[in-house]
Amino acid sequence: MPPKTDTPPAPSDPQQESLRGVRTIELDEEILTDIRELIHEDARISLLNILADLHAADIADLIENLDGDARRYVFGLLSPRVASEVLTELNETLRAALLPTISIDGIIKIVGELESDDAADLIAELPEEIAATVFRTIAAEDAAKVRQLMRYPEDTAGGIMATEVLSVLKTDTVKTAIRKVRQFAKQGIKPDTLYVVDQGGVLIGFLPVSELILQGPGRKMGNVMNPHVISVRADLDQEEVANLIQKYDLVSVPVVDDRNRVIGRITIDDIVDVIKEEATEDIERMAGLVGSEETSTPIFRTSGIRLPWLLLGFLGEMLSAAVLKSFQASLEEIIAAAFFIPIIMAMGGNAGIQSSAIVVRGLATGDVRFGQTGKRLGKEFRIALLNGAILSTLIFLVSYVWFHDIRFGLTVGFALLVVVLNATVVGATVPLLLDKYKIDPAIATGPFITTTNDALGLLIYFGFVTLLYT
């Protein structure tokens, strides 16, 4: 299993000699139509010529835009090395659809081309009997690495790290270290950092490769290393790893065990995937979705993901309807109050979503902690007071122009101010409370915040109207 590379190696298949070129494409319907026609005509050579200098990510985009049989046909044209790279670029749904169509021999060849972390992810998606066959077939050393990685939860540092890491002893000379870098380069890896360890493998320092060549060849690594090395434990959550790499502007970070021995490294390309994954998950949760969906996800599965949260929203809005029904007499007496229901609900919902989104993001990035509750709520309250005052003034002016009733205008304006303040405090408080009790704060938004603020907003609004007009 080759170590992690910064630039993809050339394929072994002569027909795809230049497949790892740097040309990129923008897929449009005309290109897709031409490719579909070539697939229909079984024009393998022409298709190989098209694929010849495309990046794996572009081939993955092409496959994602084709139908089932066409996808399998194009994927079947790829050499094991290119196929392995394309698989890592595909979304989980398509990868799961393609894997059963690959022969066991093909899977074994693909696994042999993958980096240790990607191999672990792929084998974890295979049926148990096929995974067992793969383990029996690949090299014992590679199998041990993959089994080690599979023991870690997939959303931890251990789950996303690669075991291919370049470490040198503190007693090694710079000349020896340079020789090890060259050996790694021959295997296809270009490390950006060397990690310095003692005789027991314990991490004690690091040195960027760019600085290595500036040192005298006879100097000891223990004398030229930087002892202030930043590392992460294997059980650390991947989101915290991403925050750490962003905070310290790292391009890679070593992963250590409980004895501070280097067991792997995480590179920036892994972190980009983590950031994308975490952002997608947070957006889905903020929309009230639990479970990932892709454009290729079946309709009934997508419906099953969305419907429960729509039903929750439906029940919440029924609560709003119940509030309206309880104030039926006020509505009949002051029909003008009905005209402002939409704006009261909308402003409350928007204010709640805004404040909760800021707090959720702050919790995700580490900028906000539960201990800062008072400070955060104070700031959100002041913002809500300013925004609410402006909105209240506007709605007062509109209501006065429409109905020439100062008392009604003041009632609507003051009610809107209280609704905005309430929604902002709720939106900022709920994520903090959920985070305190170890619940993903992203679920505080979406249907929960919106429906809660709708019901409370209407209750506040008609409470003021009823109090002042009855």
| pLDDT for position 10 | 38
Architecture per CATH, domain 14-151, reads as: Alpha Horseshoe (1.25)
**Where are the domains positioned within the chain?**
14-151, 167-267, 299-469
Top pLDDT among 371 and 432 is at 432
Same fold, 14-151 and 299-469: no
- Reply yes or no on whether the pLDDT at 12 is more than 50: no
| pLDDT for position 220 | 96
- Please identify which residue in the block is written with the tokens 């090299």: 139
Top pLDDT among 315 and 268 is at 268
| pLDDT for position 32 | 83
CATH number of 299-469: 1.10.357.20
With bands split at pLDDT 50, 70 and 90, how would you rate the model's confidence at 157? Answer: very high
Portion of the chain with pLDDT greater than 90, in percent: 22
| pLDDT for position 313 | 61
Q: What is the pTM of this model?
A: 0.58
Cα-based angle 389, 393, 399 (whole degrees, multiple of 5) = 140
Top pLDDT among 149 and 441 is at 149
Give per-residue pLDDT as tens, 198-254. Answer: 998 999 999 999 999 899 999 999 999 999 999 999 999 998 899 899 888 888 999
CATH number of 167-267: 3.10.580.10
